[in-house]
Structure 1
């Protein structure tokens, strides 16, 4: 066991992995204790540890993994958990590929792949990678194949570089062709000769065409007056002066002027030439060429305009930088609050779920006890308030999971009219104004309705419960100057405004309205999270919100959402879903024992059969062992090597696919991108009750 010694006998047998292999408890695997390993296994591991290339040994039918330092670096975050792990469990996303490798090599065959394309899960997300892979059988002491030695060299960077090189070559060839065409065409607009003694002008076809001579005009007898009439009046005097200077002194002629085209616009040209004199010094001939300088003059004009505007642009840039610095400070504050909020929300919502689950179970067990029912109802209301507080904090920190779709604002306003009136009271009048054809927006409808309701309630309170609230939707186009300080790019937007004629706010209050827990209401009348939640939702949706107000004149809150050019989402038909299960088997994956126990009991009371796992590793082991399930109900954030997103990736490629229902108090973007859920991702937020659980389970099973 030379490779296991502290002082290696040969170079290349050192490194971290020798120590990890020595310390690992191999007696729990088919390989047995390390002291009992066969000579062939010892020799193979010696070769593996001495290699600078990433190498991994797959031993036995299950392919227990032993690997070197180079492979540990390739494994990334899965190291050191892969050591001693079955390969199909360690790399579940390519389990079928690795099973084929084991079958072929343990039968005595070899395999090799050049730049093999695979999809591996990295940081919880599928990623395209390319590998050079070489697989060879490793004989046991009886010379029969006992394992597989794999050399794994990632070539992703080489493949992408080669593709980029080929793309660059194609681009170079195209550019070179365009340059050759431009050179062959050239900027030359023609040549001319002015016979000074006879005052006649001759030129080639391109010269005649530039000065708009009729097609039938002889090229050796071009009327000079036609050429003069084509020159821009403002440039004619300068041209005449330069011609006179050349005739008088022999100075080379060069003039830039504009020539009117047939369409009425002007083309910038440069005329260059020289004067030939006879023996007595009298002007004889005036040959020259005409060059197209329109593009250069256009660029010069643009540069001149840029220079004139430079001072203003610098001022704008300075202001933009100050604004950006303020936004950065705000973003850093949000990030700090968001990080704290996320961790608190996950643990807090887990606690609320345990409380809520057991309260619901208690209420079911004591249906006829009025005192128990009353106290359970009061406790559940407190749980709901706690959940709402956690949700508002996540909304402010822009970490709430959203389910956006494309909506027409008219449909949203029509759908919540009755809700608004009921919430605001009969003494409040609501005026809604929308364009005839409002643009669509991509938002989470429920969160947008909550934002509008929050703003409307604030407007009602500012008017002491009486007056008119105006809800206005507008299609607007914002240019770059209008977007300074808003943190959004120029483009098409839908602006949704809530306007009141209430008491208004002074500037010091207005500057703090979006800060969490800031409120002007009396104790018990508000948490100070309403506008904070609206702010976070709008920003998370790629938009901007601003509030303007004056004391005694009222307040105007305006939300900007980017226009969506996608087709509008259709209305989903609402059906009464069957609450009781049909004996489906549900795999419940939850690391919190109390939450797991309450969820299992709620599901079993609803008629489902359950299978449980404390983390993703246990769940994947059950699934790979062939345990059939109808749905995976998994927490999002769990310890262990295999994440909930890995379970979902495995479930998606099964035939038929296994539906997955996620649950969490905070997803941490494990199943979302920028906290935006994809349409095929189903999430049940904690805390949840039995009705919400069974309804969601039936919905996911039904799809």
Structure 2
């Protein structure tokens, strides 16, 4: 069960489900004892436990279930019975469906369903539920599918809400149709008869008043021109076309149009009629009526306006939701990549440490051999480049140890002005704008300066080395709407922006800029880790970063850091030169034999006496047996029951306290909180050289 807690470089399993998995007797299933699980199964379970989404592993032909905390909440009363249970027994009401899933995915295929309708038993009663389901095969160590990884997101509430909305719209349309029918049978505005051969119009008094005929006009001889002049100019052409259609085909006449009132307003009317023909088929008479539909038209206009507003609101909500979902997917993708890169960087640092230590030792053994010195020097430079690459990976994965303090952004910009100008060149002009009283932020100053430098270099390259780069600091207050999709709470923030007017980026490039090793530069011009490092640092500092860009117009990178109300940190005084030393006894605790051997040789060459332990258990036994040491030099992540933090806790309560120096590829939060080191914690990051080791050991011993 060792890999459940340490796993050498992979994040530890946390949460209730991790504890339950460790406690479960897996030997009762075909998975066998947990100590014998394959590396593939362990990795898949690690990913599953780290996911915020409900995820379940179905392992083997029977689909034995292993799931995370989110899935436990989804399972309701079936948890924890489902753990280690065959899926067909755990969910008998959908056994056929799950059997199909196992058959398909164990054959190497994937399945996905959007809003899949299923009937599940909840509280003993069948209930219709809808879910988004994603199934992927998980290969065993021999690369043959051995399990199925499922993501289960219940969408019942969304489906029922959509159905309710559709039902409300259907009822709305039905009511609207009834309203229109009722309004269409409104009050009669008069009747008329058109004598077609004589082109003479007659009508009743209501018809004459509607069309504003003079009081002295004979109702039997109403001038047609007056009626036409009263019709709204925009409606007249359609009225004439409908009349022509009725005269030509004999179909009933019906037209809706506006008539100008004496006060200048317009009244909506509906004219209906028919054409009578003589024995030769020639148009003879055209009788008809006018109906007042003004209220109906007013109601329709109001309904149309309401509908358009509703559609706009729905469209805005959908757009905002899609944006938030896309940001969430992007964040989850980067989080998953970060977990992988953090583990890789940790193992990489251990390898680099072995290489670096042996190179330095080789150089000391052959001080007069120029060829050896030259080749070792070249190799050490390569190790340093690898260490820088690993450091950038850890920054993206949010595994780098930070030493934050409270700073005024003005001090940071003032302190790096000369560095920026040297790095960017004389053809770049830098403009800095800050508020009169910028808020303070709690950050690691060195990492923030690196982030600003990275963004500035990208801006310079986007402008081909010439132009103006603007760096702007602003005090901003973000509400909940502004924080949607940013994974930060509403509140006070300091926004630091780096703006250029360079080539800009298209959307497809913009969506990938934070992914590690993604770069648009030519080979040898960049690793693609600059923005990844900035992303990891900002997120690890509790902030948010976003980049907007338009082709041909430039790019704006904005970092948001929470405001700090603590007093500003003072600049540290220059340290006194270290006093010489090297006769003390140092306990070296390291599980990697090659790293341990190299570290011991480096320390002994500096004059120190050394004791060794392969893990915390051995180290604690030596200490409890009364072995006296002046310093404990321990790796952070090791196997065994005793953790490095336990050794440090023991050392702190001794009289006098025994100083502790940690070393690691990354801290994994064993000696830190969110990788933020406390002031009394000393860490020497791997890989390190003999000078760095000697200086840090001397510093801790002298402290």
TM-score by length of 2: 0.54
Identify the residue that residue 373 of structure 1 maps to in structure 2.
373
**1:342 Cα deviation after fit:** 2.9
Deviation at 1:426, TM superposition (A): 2.0
- Gapped regions of structure 1 (runs ≥ 5): 1-72, 80-308
Corresponding residue for residue 622 of structure 1: 622
Superposed, 1:100-119 pairs within 5 Å as none
**2:560 equivalent to 1:560:** yes
Q: Distance in 1 between matches of 2:510 and 2:330?
A: 16
The Cα of 1:320 is off from its aligned counterpart by 5.6
**Corresponding position: 1:351 with 2:351:** yes
Query: Shift of the alpha carbon at 1:379?
Result: 0.6
Mapping for residues 275-290 of structure 1, pairs under 5 Å: none
Q: How far is the alpha carbon of 1:317 from its aligned partner?
A: 6.5
Q: Using the alignment, how far apart are the partners of 1:630 and 1:320 within structure 2?
A: 60
Match of 1:489 in 2: 489
CA contact (8 A) 2:473 2:496 kept: yes
Q: CA deviation at 1:536?
A: 1.2
Show the counterpart of 1:509: 509
Contact conserved, 1:479 with 1:491, CA < 8 A, in 2? yes
Shift, 1:520, TM fit: 0.8
1:580, 1:607 within 8 Å by CA — same for their partners in 2?
A: no
Matched ranges for 1:230-629 at <5 A? 321-575=321-575, 577-578=577-578, 580-629=580-629
Deviation (angstroms), 1:327: 4.0
SS at match of 1:480: coil
Alpha-carbon separation, structure 2, partners of 1:358 and 1:617: 27
* Contact kept? 2:661, 2:697, Cα under 8 Å: yes
**TM-superposed deviation, 1:640:** 0.9
Check the 8 A contact 1:636/1:663 in 2, yes or no: yes
Work out the CA distance in 1 between the residues paired with 2:700 and 2:616.
20
1:156-194 superposed Cα distances (whole Å, 9 cap, x missing partner): xxxxxxxxxxxxxxxxxxxxxxxxxxxxxxxxxxxxxxx
Supply the distance in 2 between the matched residues of 1:367 and 1:554 (Cα, whole angstroms).
53
Q: Per the alignment, do residues 320 and 505 of structure 1 end up closer, same or farther by CA in structure 2, a change over 3 Å counting? A: closer
Q: Relative to structure 1, is the Cα distance of residues 330 and 653 closer, same or farther in structure 2, using a 3 angstrom cutoff?
A: farther
* Aligned twin of 2:634: 634
Deviation of 1:652 after TM superposition, in Å, equals 1.8
Secondary structure, counterpart of 2:481 in structure 1 = helix
Within 1, Cα distance between the matches of 2:475 and 2:442? Answer: 14
Is 2:334–2:515's contact at 8 Å kept on the other side of the alignment? no
Q: Is the 1:438–1:475 Cα contact (8 Å) retained in structure 2?
A: yes
Query: What is the CA distance between 1:457 and its match in structure 2?
Result: 0.7
**Distance in structure 1 (CA, Å) of the matches to 2:339 and 2:445:** 26
Sort the Cα spacing of 1:444 and 1:316 in 2 relative to 1 into closer, same or farther, 3 A.
farther
Task: Give the drift of 1:450.
Answer: 0.9
**Residues 613 and 316 of structure 1: CA distance in aligned 2, closer, same or farther (over 3 Å):** farther
Quote the residue 2:680 is aligned against. 680
Q: Secondary structure at the match of 1:482?
A: coil
| Contact kept in structure 2, 1:634 and 1:661, CA below 8 Å | yes
Mapped contact 1:579–1:695 kept (Cα < 8 A) = no
Distance 1:489 1:438 in 2: 20
Question: Which structure 2 residue ranges, 5 or more long, are not aligned?
Answer: 1-18, 26-308
Distance 1:387 1:337 in 2: 19
Preserved contact between residue 669 and residue 675 of structure 2 (Cα < 8 Å):
yes
1:339-365 per-position Cα deviation (integer Å, ceiling 9, x unaligned): 322332222111100100111112222
Given that 2:578 and 2:702 are in contact with CA atoms closer than 8 Å, whether structure 1 keeps it comes out as no
Distance 1:476 1:498 in 2: 16
| Alignment partners' CA distance in 2, 1:661 and 1:321 | 48
Q: What secondary structure, in the 3-state scheme, does the structure 1 residue paired with 2:670 have?
A: coil
SS in 1 for 2:386: helix
Q: Deviations over 1:590-612 (max 9, x none)?
A: 11111111111212222322221
Give 3-state SS (helix, strand or coil) of 1:351's partner: helix
Contact 2:472-2:496 within 8 A present in 1 as well:
yes
Contact 2:435–2:473, Cα closer than 8 Å, also in 1 = yes
The Cα shift of 1:680 comes to 2.0
Residue 584 of structure 1 and its aligned partner are, at CA, apart by 2.0
Residues in 1 aligned to 2:335 and 2:474: alpha-carbon distance in whole angstroms: 32
Q: Please tell me whether the aligned partners of residues 580 and 694 of structure 1 are also in contact (alpha carbons under 8 angstroms).
A: no
Q: Does 1:695 align with 2:675?
A: no
Q: Which of 529-538 and 602-611 deviates more?
A: 602-611
> 1:80-159 counterparts in 2 under 5 A?
none
State the TM-score, normalizing by the size of structure 1.
Answer: 0.54
Offset at 1:448? 0.8
- Note the alpha carbon deviations across 1:305-329, whole angstroms, 9 max, x for none: xxxx999998776556544533443
**Offset of residue 644 of structure 1:** 0.6
Cα distance change of structure 1 residues 374 and 477 upon mapping to structure 2, 3 Å threshold: same
Given that 2:328 and 2:485 are in contact with CA atoms closer than 8 Å, whether structure 1 keeps it comes out as no
The answer on whether the counterparts of 2:363 and 2:373 sit within 8 Å (CA) in structure 1 is: yes
Using the alignment, how far apart are the partners of 1:554 and 1:429 within structure 2? Answer: 16
Secondary structure of the structure 2 residue equivalent to 1:651: helix
Judging changes above 3 Å, is the alpha-carbon distance between structure 1 residues 311 and 480 closer, same or farther for their aligned structure 2 residues? farther
Secondary structure of 1:679 counterpart? coil
Q: Is the 8 A contact 1:519 1:527 kept in 2?
A: yes
Q: Give the secondary structure class of the aligned counterpart of 2:338.
A: helix
The whole-number CA distance in structure 2 between the counterparts of 1:335 and 1:547 is: 18
Question: Aligned equivalents of 2:409 and 2:310: distance in 1?
Answer: 41
Q: Contact 2:476–2:492 (CA<8 Å) still a contact in 1?
A: yes
CA contact (8 A) 2:325 2:485 kept: no
Q: Deviations over 1:615-653 (max 9, x none)?
A: 101110111112122211100111111111111111122
2:648 partner SS: helix
1:68-87 residue pairs with structure 2 within 5 A?
none
In the alignment, the residues of structure 1 paired with residue 318 and residue 401 of structure 2 have an alpha-carbon distance, to the nearest angstrom, of: 36
Q: 1:366 and 1:495, CA in 2 relative to 1: closer, same or farther beyond 3 A?
A: same
